[in-house]
Amino acid sequence: GAGVSQSPSNKVTEKGKDVELRCDPISGHTALYWYRQSLGQGLEFLIYFQGNSAPDKSGLPSDRFSAERTGGSVSTLTIQRTQQEDSAVYLCASRGLAGYSYEQYFGPGTRLTVT
């Protein structure tokens, strides 16, 4: 079946502009995660959704970052007034809650470059 998809795959934007990143999780997966990975670094947890609600938003780096999920499916991560330090690969992952599997399935990521 289809995996996690993300769009766009690459985004170049000017400092100060807003960007919107999209994630389509695996159909039926109720849990959805956003991460950020800077060059040569590990993954930084940003936010988690269970259905449409986000129990923990503490990973969002600043109030310029927001995320929403509607219909328990597609999620968007919005970065307002982008800064150069926002440049990174933004990864989305989804997880089903059947049984005891905690495996997260990742999308290919969106590479964001802020110039």
Partner 1 sequence: RKEVEQDPGPFNVPEGATVAFNCTYSNSASQSFFWYRQDCRKEPKLLMSVYSSGNEDGRFTAQLNRASQYISLLIRDSKLSDSATYLCVVLNTGGFKTIFGAGTRLFVKA
Residues that bind partner 1 (CB under 8 A): 31, 33, 35, 41-45, 48, 50, 55-56, 59, 91, 102-104, 106-109
The answer to whether 47 and 56 have CB atoms below 8 angstroms apart is yes
CA 78 from centre of chain: 9
CB atoms within 10 A of CB 32: 28
Query: Minimal distance in Å, beta carbon 72 to partner 1?
Result: 15
Q: Please, which residue, 72 or 80, has the CB nearer to partner 1?
A: 72
Q: Please, which residue, 48 or 65, has the CB nearer to partner 1?
A: 48
Q: Please, which residue, 66 or 104, has the CB nearer to partner 1?
A: 104
Dist CA 111 CA 67 (whole Å)? 17
